[in-house]
Amino acid sequence: MNSRGSPAVSWTLLFLVSTSTIGGVAGSYISPRASRATITPAVPVVAPRATESFTAVSDCHQHGSSVFCLYGTTELQVVVPATATSDLPATYTDCHSHGTESFCVGPDGSDVQVLGLESEESASGEEEAASETSSSGENCHFHAGVEHCVGGGESESSAAVSCSRRDRDYNIPLRIGLLFAVLVTSLIGAVGPILLKPVLPEKLHLVFIVLKQFGTGVIIATAFVHLYTHAYLMFTNECLGELSYEATTSAVVMAGIFIAFIIEYTSHRVARKFLTRTHYNDDVVSVMVLEAGIIFHSILVGLTLVVAGDSVFITLFIVIVFHQAFEGLALGTRIASIPSTIANNNNNTTISHDSSENALNSPKPAVGEPASNSTISSESTAQGQSVLPLAKKLMMAGAFAITTPIGMAIGIGVLQRFNGNDPSTIIAIGTLDAFSAGILIWVGVVEMWAGDWLAGGELANSGFLVTATAGVGLVAGMVLMSFLGKWA
């Protein structure tokens, strides 16, 4: 009776232990993804990499007919002739590599192959292959330090997903040097329009209008193609599991839109009630909200660049340089459009840096009528009141320029510990990306796009030439920034 019941009891206990173990693993994530393969958060068995210290293996011993030796604390199999196992040496020395294979020399001078040790050449080859199209049709690239693969189908190798940190090759001196290149590029993109606007001849102010609309397209594409898409990829990462609320990405984006609206609405109401302001201060608030959204995700841009492996770092760096130049141009043109001072002139307050731009877009006033677009009643402002001085404009541009290098510096500091597949890291990056996307959607679509093209905007009643060229600039910004989204 006992002998027959024992197998049943054993199978029951095995089932209970397996169920509790699976439940414990799934409980560490938000919810297990039922339609995907099993997630393995535990550290996988990874072959150690051969380094300069790989000169010998010791404490050689047998397990059955196989021979194993120790390299540090790692047990490696050594291929020796069957006749040599009877007189097994304790140590093999003069270890070296031939291509992707590793060998050590026995006491008799013969080479023996060491299995389970990854050579430097094979390691770099595997990392290069991870960034290129594989035989299964997968194309892998990085999003905020997380390797993302598209194309191809499910394969046997993807049956278990590894979420542990993966060692990569990082050229730290190169990253430190290119940090300054990103800083200079960002500074040129943001400061250039601010310095160009006051000295630009009146006939060429159409160029500035086109640049502004190009910047609008860049901001809109950044919000949708870069940030929204990246946030979605974070929240659908297999290492996070399946979210119990599937619309998490859209909900966070909506929260970003709402917060941006609340900030602008409240700021405008407070300014109009307690302060003597012109309508140009509304533009100051809008630009500040725009810069806040850009700064949030610029930190992540720097982190994304640094934590990517060397196999894709240079490509990603080139893309980020263009990304920073375009985004700096978008912000700089908006900052430059805000007048620096308002000077009183014969009971009419003339707004500096803006009359020539309005002249391109607005009909000429009749004789004896006030120029509504170029002047404001002196009753609304004190003589010589500053709207946004040049020094503050340059400070805003400088704040944008340093954020991505700061993100790079943070990335360099945590390079040897960063794990883009850690659930807490995924949630943090996904939330910041989605929130920044919401802010930029509000500013890009409502304040910039609709604000320029609809009622009261500088392009609402513009002529055909101005409208057409501005439209080309808008579409060009969207297209170019969306194109960069293939790599970053």
Pairing of strands 58-63, 348-351: unpaired
In sequence order, what are the residues at sequence separation of 6 or more whose Cβ sits closer than 8 angstroms to the Cβ of residue 285? 263, 264, 267, 268, 271
- Burial classification of residue 80, based on how many CB atoms lie within 10 Å of its CB (0-12 exposed, 13-18 middle, 19 or more buried): buried
**Residue-by-residue pLDDT tens, the chain, 488 positions:** 444 444 444 444 444 444 443 343 333 344 434 444 444 444 444 455 655 567 888 888 888 778 888 887 788 888 887 666 667 888 888 888 877 788 888 888 888 888 877 655 555 555 444 444 444 444 555 655 566 555 544 444 444 566 777 777 789 999 999 999 999 999 999 999 999 888 888 878 889 999 999 999 999 999 999 999 999 999 988 888 888 898 999 999 999 999 999 988 888 788 777 665 555 567 788 888 999 999 988 998 898 889 888 888 898 899 999 999 999 999 999 999 888 765 544 444 444 444 444 445 544 444 444 444 433 333 334 443 447 888 999 999 999 999 999 999 999 998 888 888 888 989 999 999 999 999 999 999 998 999 999 977 889 989 999 999 999 999 999 999 999 988 87
Report the alpha-carbon distance of residue 404 to residue 294 in Å, rounded.
10
Sequential DSSP letters for 312-347: HHHHHHHHHHHHHHHHHHHHHHHHHHS-SBEEEETT
DSSP code for 32: -
Domain locations along the chain: 58-121, 172-484
Task: Find how far residue 447's CA is from the centre of its chain.
Answer: 24
pLDDT at 124: 53
pLDDT at 446: 92
pLDDT at 204: 80
- Kindly list the strands in the beta sheet with 375-377, ordered across the sheet, starting from the edge strand earlier in the chain: 342-345, 348-351, 375-377
Which residues share a beta bridge with 349? 344, 376
pLDDT in tens, 7-25: 444 444 444 444 443 343 3
Residue 62 amino acid letter: Q
